[in-house]
Amino acid sequence: MGEQLHLTDENLPDTVRQLGLAGPDEAVAVEAAGDGNINWVRRIRLAGGKSLIVKQARLALEKFPEYEVSTERIVFEARYLERARPFDFDRVLPEVRAFDPAQRILVLEDLAGAERLDEALARARDISEPMTRMARFLARVHRETRGAGAELASEFPNEAMRRLHGDHIFLLPYREEFPAPPETAARAQQIRADTELTGIAERAYESYLRPTGPLVHADVQPTNLLLRPDGPKLLDAEIAHAGDPAFDIATLIAHLVLPAAVRGDLAAARPVARGVWRAYSEEHGAAGRASLADVLRYAGLELVRRTVGAARVRFVESDASGLAVLELGTSWIRSPERCEPW
Ligand SMILES: Nc1ncnc2c1ncn2[C@@H]1O[C@H](COP(=O)(O)OP(=O)(O)O)[C@@H](O)[C@H]1O
Ligand SMILES: [Mg+2]
């Protein structure tokens, strides 16, 4: 790839015209969109009022410029959208309006008017129905791509993103200290010294890195899930790879139970978490399906890294909430098979 055109609010209108998305003299207004951490993302508004989302992948990550990761990640995002689309009966995925692989620019349908899942969780909105639909979508993609084998893996050589993400889940929380309130930090230190937990995390990392398997989105977390009146939407497939399907449904379940664990009311989240697992299981069918134990182990690891890792979630600001999440997370990591009924 030659020198990348660095998109700015100033040069974006011309780029949009060159991509054929606006007429040569059409006005193009640029607005902020979301608060993504990794990529440069903007909303553009065309003369007729129609809007689009423009995403550009750059070597240095937007909010963590000290990290540099291959911009090829956006090629895998576009490829995920293409490979998963045939199974997207519920229109969970955004439509692609343009893709410039050379400049690493992806233009998507604007899914405005949505509430992000983290916001919905913060106000304890009932999200059973959209989450069930999301689970069914993931199950279909996993089921329909699991026979693709090495060929699928060769289409998604997304090692840089896969490892960066994996290190933050399975390694760093068990090796390094991250800022956290005092009691949470003390508990984190015990976790780092616990060879049973660190050993399980290491083995789970090996499963996550397994070289083949169905198409996994790998970042089914609340800031990538939008709830629209017409149904749930899934964004940001830049970590997509062929791998362990348990990882996708686990990430979703972890985030569905986390706020309830904070409130000391896990029972409140059980119906939605179980409903998600049931919908996933039914839609997938038994052949080649992930086990609930593998799912809960990954979910436990996600709960821990969201409390004592680099990407803490807003729900664990206080020690009381952090400790509650760590208790649930470590029990799922240690003995996921004993967590039924969960
Ligand atoms: N198609 C879209 N429609 C509406 N909002 C979007 C769309 N794509 C992204 N966004 C907003 O931008 C944010 C960042 O986009 P995302 O694809 O997740 O990039 P990043 O990799 O930087 O997280 C999302 O959390 C969402 O709020
Ligand atoms: Mg995102």
36 CA distance to ligand 2 centroid (A)? Answer: 5
Residues 129 and 97 in one domain: no
Q: What confidence score (pLDDT) does residue 338 get?
A: 75
CATH number, domain with residue 271: 3.90.1200.10
**Token pair recorded at residue 339:** 């967590």
Domain contains 259: yes
Residue 1, pLDDT > 70, answer no
Residues 189 and 216 in one domain: yes
Using a pLDDT cut of 90, give the percent of the chain over it: 90
pLDDT (tens digit, 9 = 90+) per residue, 103-131? 999 999 999 999 999 999 999 899 999 99
Residues 102 and 119 in one domain: no
Which atom, in ligand 1's list, is nearest to the CA of 108? Answer: 1
Burial of 70 (0-12, 13-18, 19+ CB in 10 A): middle
Residues 19 and 132 in one domain: no
Pocket test for ligand 1, best of 235, 238, 239 (most atoms within 8 A of CB): 235
Query: How much is the pTM?
Result: 0.96
* Residue 164 lies in domain: 115-338
CA dihedral (142, 232, 167, 335) in degrees, to 10, reads -70
Residues 55 and 153 in one domain: no
**Token pair recorded at residue 289:** 């399906």
**Token pair recorded at residue 105:** 């620019």
Residues 129 and 263 in one domain: yes
Q: What confidence score (pLDDT) does residue 340 get?
A: 57
Domain contains 5: no
Q: Indicate the residue among 76, 109, 142 that finishes a domain.
A: 109
Residues 177 and 304 in one domain: yes
Which atom, in ligand 1's list, is nearest to the CA of 34? Answer: 27
Domain contains 28: yes
Number of domains comprising the chain: 2
Residues 164 and 296 in one domain: yes
**Token pair recorded at residue 258:** 């986390």
Domain contains 164: yes
pLDDT (tens digit, 9 = 90+) per residue, 205-246? 999 999 999 999 999 999 999 999 999 999 999 999 999 999
